Structure 1
Amino acid sequence: MAALDIVNTHLLEGMKVVGELFGKGEMQLPFVLQSAEVMKTAVALLEPHMEKVEGADSSKGSIVLATVRGDVHDIGKNLVDIILTNNGYTVHNIGIKQPITAIIEAAEEHDADVIGMSGLLVKSTVVMKENLEELTSRGLAKRWPVLLGGAALTRTYVEDDLAGQFDGVVRYARDAFEGLRLMEPLVRVARGESSDDVGLPALKKRRHSVVTVTQTPEDELPARSDVAADNPVPEPPFWGTRIVKGLQLADYAAFLDERATFLGQWGLKPGRGEDGASYEELRDTEGRPRLRAWLDAIRAEGMVDPSVIYGYFPVWSEGDEVVVAHHTGPDGGSGGQVGTERLRFRFPRQRRDRHLCLADFIKPKEWVEETGRYDVLPVQLVTIGDTVTPHTARLFAENKYREYMELHGLSVQLTEALAEFWHSRVRAELGFADEEPDDVDGLFKLDYRGARFSLGYPACPDMEDRHKVVELLRPGRVGVTLSEELQLHPEQSTDCFVFHHPEAKYFSV
């Protein structure tokens, strides 16, 4: 073997060791990505000097990677791309929102060994199931082993529920390094070996345990929970919507959840054992210095274009439903008589515990008829715009993997910070400024009056309601659109209802 080939082999082995250390919790993800950057640079320097053997294929196997139909999230998929590519596999990354037909076409075009599908949304788990059914119906289930990953997936869902209905081989990858460990046996299966002989881990079967939960029959559910009905209703500063632009980064960055950014997005997780760095050490030596540098760069290069569109709407409740009424002004609805129903949201009610429902936090119709007043429902949508996307795409293309992950993760958390910042503004406009927590940690503990609820969460799971939110707010005015899959674009956008009732806190249905 030539000297350069030996060096290249050692680079691959070194990256494998790095991956094993990460899997054991002995190495932080940012440093793993920096190792991948070093390897990529080294290979690029070596390749011009390495002897090309005609007909030889240096790849250890190939995979088509895609984020499934309806899902715009690509950070997890791109991390898999980075790790597999830097460990000798050929990756055909075909992007986001890919239907199964496009995935199959790419797998056929590139003669791929494996298909990998990613997704962040709960809905994406259903799409993955449909994709496996499509592979089976086309007689292609045994042609490509399938690797599935994403935040909403669980191992038992993939390896028990889905595997039990799929004619081929399917496995779950919790992260990019588990995907790496699975690639070799999956490639061997694709090339004709039996799945029993290649060292694939056993399928994780669901453990069935008996849990007794007493639920109230639907026909016996109360019309309303024990939520207090005598709370005062604030006067909104206006009815309808307003647009806010020109927001300063420093204002909403002050509401950034550092822990969610450093741990969840940047992978700065505490090490194991006595010698492992604590979260506080990583926060002070890695997290905060890099955060300051990123905020300076974002400001200097104009990477974000924040906008808020929000409004106050007159409402009442009827059982499990919140009814939005027509009101005066340009945002009052088209042609409806003031005070009559414009649209309504139906929310699920708990079958146990307090039998809570979001509608309980809104005054009932009888109160409106008695007082001649309405309750108020603030609704808001925030975005930091799509201007950050070219910057993350450039970093990924330039193999600056750590910076790519950090900027993408920070953009997600800055969107949440902007939502938190504007929620505090709404509370102030409703007259609750004196009930604010003393510090930012209190915000993340919900130590303030009321709560904001985003669509897709247990208390308001019906994503179809986003059509009604769009009708109320008309976010196209700030460049935000709604896809057929009910996702907001740009990705760095989020909407929510704000409930001002003192007892409004998060609950599970």
Structure 2
Amino acid sequence: RDAFEGLRLMDALIGVKRGVPGAVLPELKQRRVPKKNIDTAVLEVEEPEGSVRSDVSTTNPVPTPPFLGTRVIKGIPLKDYASWLDEGALFKGQWGLKQARTGDGPTYEELVETEGRPHLRGWLDHLQSNNLLEAAVVYGYFPCVSKGEDVILLHEDGSERTRFTFPRQRRGRRLCLADFFRPEESGERDVIGLQVVTVGSRIGEATAELFAANSYRDYLELHGLSVQLAEALAEYWHARVRSELGFAGEDPADVEDMFALKYRGARFSLGYGACPDLEDRAKIADLLRPERIGVHLSEEFQLHPEQSTDAIVIHHPEAKYFNAR
């Protein structure tokens, strides 16, 4: 189910191999595949490919960005983005904290108080005292228009700078990311935000040292935390973008609602359902030049250091996550 289950299994396996008294492997789990009854008479028929636009509004106000082009921000303090750390994603998704399936033992809430938060405080203190965080952002705003499935980024004189082509849903609303921007024929310019954030390479080097020293539990905890800190930094900067565009006042007051994405607009990372083409990272890299904050793009279109994320930031009120296929 998660990396920690694998860790427990390996502990048991090594114990059996070394002849530790009482060491046993867990019983094999029976895999069950549920049967699905498909009524072929009611299967939804996919619509053919084409540029039939969705019903997304084209009358929402276009905000005015504080600048056009890019800016670099370095040395962001942990306290600025630590509040954006999603504890649920860290404790459940990364660290594997969960109540025993039998119902015996501590509840998840008790595990959070006795294990999750104490470990988190210890790791954050360790990161601070050892200067392992190098939080930095490069971001920018660019004028743009849409045409079919394309978002065309413009120079200030109106000439084409580059373009992104996104897939369109074949059913339902037939959404495409391009629909969230003013169409070219409207005569209006829209604005698109791009950002790359990183918590730096030192934390990755620290996790690699733990792995090399066979400290697998510490490795998994620190690696999981580093991933979530990069995500927290990305959420923090997205909030900064909403503020600069003038609609941060629409943000919900409860942080859990923030994690549930109940704010205006959306931050789309490449490789996911609405924008699956990782090669588009090269276009973002050309525009933002993230090497200025120590982030580089590999030949496989992966960001290095690993604890980095990129995103297309869309201000449209109807922009929410969806799968295009």
Same fold (TM over 0.5): yes
Question: Retained in 1: the 8 A contact 2:298–2:304?
Answer: yes
Q: Name the CA shift for 1:209/1:487 in 2 (closer, same or farther; >3 Å).
A: farther
CA distance in 2, matches of 1:444, 1:485: 30
Report the number of matched residues: 315
Question: Retained in 1: the 8 A contact 2:204–2:307?
Answer: no
CA distance in 1, matches of 2:37, 2:233: 42
Deviations 1:229-283 (A, max 9, x none): 1000000010011000110101111100101100111111121233232221111
1:215 maps to what in 2?
46
Paired residue type of 1:217: P
How far has the Cα of 1:434 moved from its partner?
A: 0.7
Match of 2:69 among 233, 240, 243: 240
Q: Name the CA shift for 1:384/1:87 in 2 (closer, same or farther; >3 Å).
A: farther
Paired residue secondary structure (1:392): helix
CA distance in 1, matches of 2:162, 2:305: 26
Counterparts of residues 23-422 of structure 1 (less than 5 Å): 29=4, 88=17, 210=38, 212-219=43-50, 222=52, 224-327=53-156, 338-367=157-186, 369=187, 371=188, 374-422=189-237
Paired residue secondary structure (1:420): helix
How far has the Cα of 1:285 moved from its partner?
A: 1.2
Deviations 1:102-128 (A, max 9, x none): xxxxxxxxxxxxxxxxxxxxxxxxxxx
Match of 1:471 among 265, 283, 286: 286
Paired residue type of 1:346: T
Q: Name the CA shift for 1:206/1:467 in 2 (closer, same or farther; >3 Å).
A: farther
Identity of aligned residues (%): 56
Paired residue type of 2:143: P
CA distance in 1, matches of 2:193, 2:89: 26
CA distance in 1, matches of 2:298, 2:185: 38
Name the TM-score, length of structure 2 as normaliser: 0.89
Paired residue secondary structure (2:197): strand
Gaps of 5+ in 2: 19-24
Indicate the structure whose relative CO is greater, using CA pairs within 8 Å and at least 6 residues apart: 2
Deviations 1:138-159 (A, max 9, x none): xxxxxxxxxxxxxxxxxxxxxx
Match of 1:495 among 290, 294, 310: 310
Paired residue secondary structure (1:88): helix
2:22 maps to what in 1?
none
CA distance in 1, matches of 2:16, 2:144: 57
1:428 maps to what in 2?
243
How far has the Cα of 1:85 moved from its partner?
A: 5.3
Match of 2:295 among 477, 480, 498: 480
Match of 2:275 among 460, 468, 472: 460
How far has the Cα of 1:324 moved from its partner?
A: 0.5
Question: Which contiguous aligned blocks of 4+ residues in structure 1 show a shift greater than 3 angstroms?
Answer: 82-89, 200-211
1:439 counterpart = 2:268: no
Q: Name the CA shift for 1:359/1:277 in 2 (closer, same or farther; >3 Å).
A: same
Paired residue secondary structure (2:17): coil
Q: Name the CA shift for 1:84/1:239 in 2 (closer, same or farther; >3 Å).
A: farther
Paired residue secondary structure (2:84): coil
